[in-house]
Amino acid sequence: MSDPAPETVHASCVCVGPPADGSADAPAGAPDDAPPTACRALLILGAPGAGKSSLAIGMIALGATLVADDQVRLRRDGAAVAASPPPALAGLVEARGIGLLRLPWRAAVVAMVLDLDAPPEGRLPPRRTRLLLGAAVPLMVRPERVCAAATLLALRHGPPLDPDVAAGTSSGAASRA
């Protein structure tokens, strides 16, 4: 069975991961068919004006690398979902009230999704997933206050734990999707 057709989504995307110098990753500006990188990407979904670019810029200021802004090209590569920018937008990010910024960028494998349109689910929400091109990817929904630093830590160290699983209980929250 072949991988699903690539898809372009309205989103922003940043990544973190070794190595810091990018030496083992696809170089900046690599073609779309370059192999996915060791970089862990966060795909940020939301309506126009939801804060996707602002969150991406905040995470970049804290050490993340731009993958794409406004439009993100997704394609399956085996079990993984690779993210890259459309060629015309490669390296560009919108800083509202400032203008377009040109930044280094690289393609990456989507490790998590953050949906800024979903309603907040409290202090310790259950673990969820989102299907991207048929692959289940950990999902975070909009927290009451979006914090670039906390979001970056979740991306760098793995998705947030399900509170029931972390506390050793089994109320079934871990299986909610």
> How does pLDDT run across 19-29, given as a tens digit for each residue?
444 444 444 44
Alpha-carbon distance of 93 to 66, in angstroms, equals 8
Sign (positive or negative) of CA dihedral 95, 73, 46, 119? negative
Mean pLDDT, the chain, integer = 83
**pTM to 2 decimal places:** 0.80
Q: Average pLDDT in the 58-70 region? A: 95
Would you state the torsion angle of the CA atoms of residues 37, 152, 7, 126, taken in this order, to the nearest 10 degrees? 120
Residue 34 has pLDDT above 90, yes or no: no
* Top-confidence residue, 118 or 163: 118
Alpha-carbon distance of 124 to 132, in angstroms, equals 24
Alpha-carbon distance of 147 to 75, in angstroms, equals 28
Domains, the chain, with CATH or none: 7-167 (3.40.50.300)
pLDDT digits (tens, 9 = 90+) for 42-53: 999 999 999 999
7: helix, coil or strand?
strand
